[in-house]
Structure 1
Amino acid sequence: MRSSVFASLLGLLCLLTGIQSAMAFEIEYQERFGTSNAASVIRILSSTDSDRFKPVINGFIKRNPDLGVHYVTASTANIYAAIASEKQPFDLVISSAMDLQMKLANDGFTKAVNSTQTSLVPSWARWRTEVFGFALEPVVMLISKKDFANLPVPRTRREMLALIRNNASIFKDRIGTYNPETSGAGYLFSTQDARQSDTFWRLAEVMGRLNAKLYCCTSKMIEAVEKGDLALAYNLLGSYANATLPADSNAQIVAFEDYTHILLRTAIIPITSKNPVGGIRFLDFLVSPDGQSILDTEAKLPALNNSVIDKLANRKPIRLDSGLLVFLDRMKKAHFLREWSAALIQN
Structure 2
Amino acid sequence: MNRPSRVASRWLLLISLVVTHAVADETLHYPAAPDSGPATSLVVHGALDLPQMQPLLEGFHRQNPDVAVRYRNLTTLALHERFLAAPDEADVLLSSAMAWQYRLANEGHARALASPAAQHWPAWARWRHELFAITFEPIVMVVNQAVIERFGEVRGHADLLALLERHAGALQGRVVTYDPATSGAGYTYAIEESRLSPRYWDLVAALGKAETALADTTAEMLDGLIEGRYLVGYNLLGSYAQERLANQPQLRIVVPEDYALVTQRLALIPRQAPHPQAAERFLDYLISETGQTVLARETPLGAIHPALDGPGTATALRQARGEALRPIAVGPGLLATLDDLKREALLTRWQREFARGE
C-alpha distance in structure 2 between counterparts of 1:177 and 1:332, whole Å: 21
Shift of 1:274: 2.3
Query: Does the CA contact (< 8 Å) of 2:28 and 2:54 recur in 1?
Result: no
Retained in 2: the 8 A contact 1:31–1:71?
yes
Distance in 1 between residues matched to 2:256 and 2:207, nearest whole Å: 18
Kindly tell me: are residues 37 and 337 of structure 1, through their superposed partners in 2, closer, same or farther at Cα, counting changes over 3 Å? farther
How far the C-alpha of 1:209 sits from its partner, in A, is 3.5
Residues 33 and 65 in structure 2, CA contact (< 8 A), matched pair in contact too:
no
Q: TM (normalized to structure 2)?
A: 0.81
CA distance in 1, matches of 2:146, 2:330: 38
CA gap of 1:174–1:69, structure 2 versus 1, over 3 A, is: farther
TM-score (normalizing by structure 1): 0.84
Contact 2:144 2:231 in 1 (8 A): yes
- Provide the C-alpha distance between the structure 1 equivalents of 2:236 and 2:104, rounded to a whole number of angstroms: 24
Matched residue type, 2:338: L
Q: What residue in structure 2 maps to residue 207 of structure 1?
A: 207
**322, 335, 350: which one pairs with 1:325?**
335
- After TM superposition, the structure 1 stretch with the greater mean CA deviation from structure 2, 267-276 or 337-346, is 337-346
Alpha-carbon distance in structure 1 between the residues aligned to 2:177 and 2:149: 22
- Deviation digits for residues 42-66 of structure 1, max 9, x if unmatched? 2222222221221111111222222
- Pairing 1:335-346 to 2, within 5 Å after superposition: 335-344=345-354
Structure 2 vs 1, CA of residues 208 and 115 (structure 1 numbering), >3 Å: closer, same or farther? same
**1:281 corresponds to:** 281
CA distance in structure 2 between the partners assigned to 1:44 and 1:208 by the alignment: 41
Q: Report SS of the residue matched to 2:110.
A: coil
Trace 1:209-288 onto structure 2 (pairs within 5 A): 209-288=209-288
1:194 to 1:211, Cα distance in 2 relative to 1, 3 A: same
Deviations 1:63-113 (A, max 9, x none): 222223322233334433333466472221112232222112112222222
Root-mean-square deviation over aligned CA pairs: 2.5
Match status 1:178 vs 2:186: no
Inter-partner Cα distance in structure 1 for 2:173 and 2:41? 46
Aligned with 2:129: secondary structure?
coil
| 1:137-164 C-alpha deviation (Å, 9 max, x unpaired) | 1111111123333121222312211211
Alpha-carbon distance in structure 2 between the residues aligned to 1:273 and 1:183: 29
Q: Which amino acid aligns with 1:288?
A: S
The 3-state SS of whatever aligns with 1:168 is coil
8 Å Cα contact 1:136/1:264 also seen in 2: yes
AA aligned opposite 2:221: M
Larger displacement relative to structure 2 (274-283 or 48-57): 274-283
Name 1:4's counterpart in structure 2.
Answer: none
* Structure 1: runs of 5 or more not aligned: 1-15, 21-28
Deviation at 1:231, TM superposition (A): 1.0
Give 1:191 deviation, angstroms.
Answer: 0.8
Structure 2 residue runs of 5 or longer lacking an equivalent are 1-21, 307-312
Determine what percentage of the aligned residue pairs are the same residue.
31
Greater mean alpha carbon deviation, residues 216-225 or residues 294-303: 216-225
Determine helix, strand or coil for the equivalent of 1:262.
strand
* Contact 2:32-2:66 at 8 Å conserved across structures: no
